Structure 1
């Protein structure tokens, strides 16, 4: 459920208290695309702390969650003790072909090293439907604004090699999924407001979440102080009733592998 770049090692608790809430913004759209489970099977790939998997389980799906980061699985086990969560990652899942009625990957294909190979793997293990999301407007824009306020040079962010990358747009995502073997992928744009608390945002940075967290951890003490001061300035400018209403934009894609859909 995470955007690139940055290391995700050991950040389960920090992610759960911050960006997990942001990534919930796509849950209703994904649930509407796949419908209620009625006992059907679903695989959540890159499941993070298990929030989406638990939401699908509540909709009647028999859910399996795969998440490669142990600290994420530890949080999932505490929060959702009935959820089956195991290791495993794209582009080499341990499942057999067509193992699940549906497969979902929330904010995973935007940070894998080979998006088309990862999309093809999702398609391989699904027999009924596959759904996925990416950021089309990166959440990192906020931290670039913080750097600007602090007088620091923002990290440029990693990009994939040209032959592996794809345009981060509705059309670009649809084309990439098509090249990854998804039949007639249907993609739309989704916008929502994350009303983020300053505390949650700062905990994500101190916890080392994604690119901003990695950037902050690499700074010296003086520049960390400047970054924090820049953050406080942005909070003062953007806060409304104690929270920051931040617009985020994603592309949501689905392919129905059953011709009856």
Structure 2
């Protein structure tokens, strides 16, 4: 565990998250991308009618949310902290205005959007409350905020890879940052509703989505094998012999989830949060930038 002050731990967590996704847009799309895309229809439905509405997709990844929002007629802007992800989204959804930017500071003026969404993003930021406050800042009064979040405890399918790591006797690397406990909150329906209410939002709701994700052993293993996400950083930190041992346990533990045709049917759950931005009462800081740089114009080493 990374030691230090709260600010130092938060900075280390954010830096670790950037490292977990940097240069891995293709590997993500080939492994966990379809899983994360499953919640997109419900996420967008939480925003109400989208035709002609200004929608911001925060943490767009390879552009699954942005693409579906465009199909519904929304005027889409999309940002991601990783330049490779932003470029992939720009290629997938050329009609969207795509930029490199990271929470908790986005390059938009207050009240710029009718809806702001974030699909599995608040799991990956060091200051979740500040991140939510930024989503609220850029949404207009009466606008919709919607996001998804992985719950704790995780569903059996989501926990499979972590169980394989534990079964192989591999411990989380000591230098792999964890979220500062002071910044954390319960990853439950009640905990998320409290987070929304604490942010001053109206009509706060949170419900659980449940589904079986159909994949294959090779596809599911390809994510951690390529170093994608935190589980990938754990696997990639080990020598080849230990990685092979993790893989062996992964195949063994996959048996209960294996269909007759060899596919994996992995039970997953996600929390879907939605709320409405109330009228402004005092006026927010309106000095934020209102321009977005196109992803193709942002240097690969840009600060995110």
- 2:12 match: none
Shift of 1:199: 2.1
- 1:242 match: 262
Retained in 2: the 8 A contact 1:136–1:251?
Answer: yes
Query: What do residues 18-48 of structure 1 show as CA deviations (whole Å, max 9, x unaligned)?
Result: 1111112211211221133221100000111
Match for residue 170 of structure 2 among 153, 172, 182: 153
Match for residue 197 of structure 2 among 165, 168, 178: 178
Q: Structure 1: any 5+ residue segments left out of the alignment?
A: none
Q: Which moved more, 1:168-177 or 1:135-144?
A: 135-144
Distance between the aligned counterparts of 2:219 and 2:88, measured in 1?
17
Distance between the aligned counterparts of 1:143 and 1:253, measured in 2?
26
Shift of 1:13: 0.5
Shift of 1:62: 0.5
- 2:57 match: 44
Q: Residue 55 of structure 1: SS of its match in structure 2?
A: helix
Distance between the aligned counterparts of 2:208 and 2:158, measured in 1?
18
Cα RMSD, aligned residues only: 2.1
Bigger radius of gyration: 2
Shift of 1:242: 2.0
Match for residue 136 of structure 1 among 151, 159, 168: 151
- 2:114 match: 101
Distance between the aligned counterparts of 2:219 and 2:64, measured in 1?
17
Distance between the aligned counterparts of 2:26 and 2:221, measured in 1?
13
TM-score by length of 1: 0.90
Retained in 1: the 8 A contact 2:75–2:96?
Answer: no
TM-score by length of 2: 0.78
Equivalenced residues, count: 255
Q: Which moved more, 1:13-22 or 1:158-167?
A: 158-167
- 2:95 match: 82
Q: Structure 2: any 5+ residue segments left out of the alignment?
A: 1-15, 280-304
